[in-house]
Amino acid sequence: MHLLTTQLGTVSYAVALELQRDLARRRIAGEIDEDLLLLLEHPPVVTLGRTAKEAHIISSPERLRARGIEVHEVERGGDVTFHGPGQLVGYPIFDLKRHRQDLHWYLRQVEEALIVALEEVGIEAERNSGYTGVWTRGRKIASIGVHARDWVTWHGFALNVTTDLSYFDLIVPCGIPQVQMTSVTRELGTSLTVDRMSAVVARAFGEVFALEPREIAREMLESVPR
């Protein structure tokens, strides 16, 4: 089986959310017969998952607006997080009926794919017991929040590559007090592009989920194999 991957560039959060929901609907209906992985960046945005507390946005609405940051409440699991330039965001549209009907297993697999990808670029990453996401040397480098219906997933992960980490000072990331965020650039001491990291992550997802990655152009999303 293939994993159809597509690099979308910078896409507004609202547009990407509607695209995910449409692709998930088509996957549930059987109109799409392969798993998908959307890879992209967002303009600055704060999102609140189902368990988010408003108190975890510690900046005023005026300050958020001044920095050009949108706020969205969404159906994914998890608390509050930030998306922005320099961050690789991935939205897997997977049918877990073809893998394993277990969301906890799926979350661990997403973590594993990111751990494998980070290892390839020279970062030793790990899980943090009791939390979802990926850490390195005690600092959080990737956040994960997913949603599923009829065992088809959407939403996904955010991996800090060259992200301006000061944005995380505006929130309590993932609702974890005193969490320290980091990025690929900070850990390596050298810059690595989001495009380069996208290719590494796509390969890692293929390896972990036993799928063959096949990149498709954005315009092909309307005509993926049926």
- How do the domains of the chain map onto residue ranges? 2-223
Nearest to 125, CA basis, from 117, 138, 115, 111: 115
Mean pLDDT of the chain: 94
pLDDT tens-digit map of 124-159: 999 998 899 999 999 999 999 999 999 999 999 999
Contact 55, 101 (CB under 8 A): no
pLDDT band at residue 220, thresholds of 50, 70 and 90? confident
Residues 6+ apart with CB under 8 A from 42: 10, 11, 12, 13, 16, 83, 84, 85, 87, 89
Which residues are known catalytic residues? 174
Distance CA 114, CA 144 (A): 10
Q: What b-and-e string marks burial along 77-107, b requiring 16 or more CB atoms within 10 Å of the CB?
A: bbbbbbbbebbbbbbbbbbbeebeeeeeebb
pTM: 0.95
- Fold held by 2-223: BirA Bifunctional Protein; domain 2 (3.30.930)
Q: What residues pair up with 154 in beta bridges, in sequence order?
A: 147
Contact 18, 77 (CB under 8 A): no
Contact 199, 159 (CB under 8 A): no
Residue 186 half-sphere exposure toward CB, CA atoms < 13 A: 17
- Indicate the SS3 state at residue 10: strand
Contact 145, 155 (CB under 8 A): yes
So what's the pLDDT on residue 226?
A: 46
pLDDT band at residue 191, thresholds of 50, 70 and 90? confident
